[in-house]
Amino acid sequence: MLDDRHGDAFVAFEHVQKSYDGQTLVVKDLNLSIGRGEFLTMLGPSGSGKTTCLMMLAGFETATNGEIRLDGRPINQVPPHKRGIGMVFQNYALFPHMTVGENLSFPLEVRGMGKDERQTRIARALDMVQMGKFANRRPAQLSGGQQQRIALARALVFDPELVLMDEPLGALDKQLREHMQFEIKHLHEKLGITVVYVTHDQGEALTMSDRIAVFNDGRIQQLAPPSDLYERPENIFVASFIGENNVLPGTIEQLDGDRALVRLDGGGVIDATAVNIREKGQRTTVSIRPERVEFKPEMMSQGAHTIEAQVMEVIYMGDILRARLKVAGSDNFVMKMRNTIGQTRLDPGQVIRIGWHPQDARALDPI
């Protein structure tokens, strides 16, 4: 399923570049293979090129250079209506002058399908999203969540193998969004379709995807399953874009395989795992997740280096306690502690020593 070889890829981008104005590249040399049945998310800030990639795959934008293949077939010259790709749009794009049933009937009619088969398929697709009773309503009479379901049913009703989703949950409130995330995920598993999903919401990406491609500045920064992406970011952009993160600038003092000793700019020496660092004396930025920071000696590995930290404030957040620390001269270092009965309560002004497992501190390229 996660096979990355070009030959087996269901969707393949090869050296794809895109420019709108002939001056700058919006997508710079994109290489991406998506396996059959995979749920791949393109995640990135706005302007990172992710939506452009989706539009090139759908056929609404043409690649300036490079090749896009669908099931082994180059599709650069294939018009959108012949690609057979289902698509869910940001604001649903349900045709306002048609009923829900007519909306779903549209892709079947343009394929010349008979009336009986259309009825069967429409009923099946509506049942799939639990909207069976709404065939005669107009889109304007539905709530946002219901419109979202109809848009999903419309993209699936003609049995496409590939479905593209362009921030489909962006307009929904938080609770509904989380609910729909699971529903889309379950539909994907049930139908075995391939999904390419675009979002700027990292939580959504982590929840739903088999793999996530993090976009920035027209390039894929990292392509990995959610857990890898979160726990083993490969560069400082991914580390800071996904989840909350502490960054400590410093210089490599010792390098032994992937184990590094980093002298921080603000004083102190820490252990870290070298990721994209090659030699001693190089500048680096160490990234540590707030929930992996420890302050109790018994929780730290033997012989690990610790550094001094001063508690600036502790914020009670219900499930966790969030402490802001002053570490190595910078006072926005964050540590998260689980709110358990036995948890040690810290007070502002208190001085503690903090440490971590060397594999959780990742020495990345300098900012």
Partner 1 sequence: MADAALDPHAAIATTASGVGSGTLTTADGMPLARALAHSQRRARRRAFLLVLPLLAFILITFVVPIGQMLARSFHNDGFSANMPQVSAWFASTEHGTAPDDAAWTALAQDLVASADARSIGVVGTRINYDMPGTRSLFTATGRQVRRGLEPPYQEALLEINEAWGDPRLWSVMRSASTPVTANFYLAAVDRTRDEDGNIQQVEEQQRIYLTLFWRTFWLSAVITGLTFILGFPIAHLLATLPMRKSNLLMILVLLPFWTSLLVRTTSWMVLLQQQGVINDILVWMGIIGGDARLQMIYNRTGTIIAMTHILLPFMILPLYSVMRTINPAYVRAARSLGATSWTAFRRVYFPQTLPGLGAGAMLVFILAVGYYITPALVGGSSGQLISNMIAQHMTGTLNWSMAAALAALLLGSVLILYWLYDRLVGVDNLKLG
Residues of this chain that bind partner 1 (CB under 8 A): 58-60, 79-81, 83-87, 89-91, 93-97, 106-107, 110-111, 154-155, 158, 164
Q: Which is nearer to partner 1, 18 or 154 (CB)?
A: 154
> How many CB atoms are located within 10 Å of the residue 191 CB?
16
| Residue among 153 and 220 whose Cβ is closer to partner 1 | 153
Q: How far is the CB of 46 from partner 1 (least distance, A)?
A: 17
Rounded-to-integer distance, Cα 222 and Cα 43, Å: 10
Question: 164 or 328, CB closer to partner 1?
Answer: 164
Considering the complex, what minimum distance in angstroms separates the CB of residue 209 from partner 1? 22
**Cα–Cα distance, 197 to 125 (Å, whole number):** 20
- Whole-angstrom distance, CA of residue 140 vs CA of residue 50: 30
Measured from the CB of residue 164, what is the shortest distance to partner 1 in angstroms?
Answer: 8
Q: What is the C-alpha to C-alpha distance for residues 57 and 11, in angstroms, rounded to an integer?
A: 9
- In whole angstroms, how close is the CB of 166 to partner 1 at the nearest point? 9
Nearest approach, Cβ of residue 355 and partner 1 (Å): 52
What is the C-alpha separation between 40 and 225, in angstroms, rounded?
Answer: 9
* Alpha-carbon gap, residue 28 to 48, rounded angstroms: 10
Q: Which is nearer to partner 1, 16 or 85 (CB)?
A: 85
CA distance linking residue 352 with residue 75, whole number of Å = 60
Nearer to partner 1, 161 or 265 (CB): 161
Q: What b/e readout covers 56-69, taking b as 16+ CB neighbours within 10 angstroms?
A: bbbbebebeebebb
Task: Tell me the three state secondary structure of residue 179.
Answer: helix
Confirm if 328 and 307 have CB atoms less than 8 A apart: yes
> To the nearest whole angstrom, how small is the minimum distance from the Cβ of residue 188 to partner 1?
18
What is the closest distance, in whole angstroms, from the C-beta atom of residue 124 to partner 1 in the complex?
17
Q: Which two tokens stand for residue 205?
A: 């990406």
Nearer to partner 1, 97 or 345 (CB): 97
Name the packing angle between helices 144-156 and 115-128 (round to 10°).
130
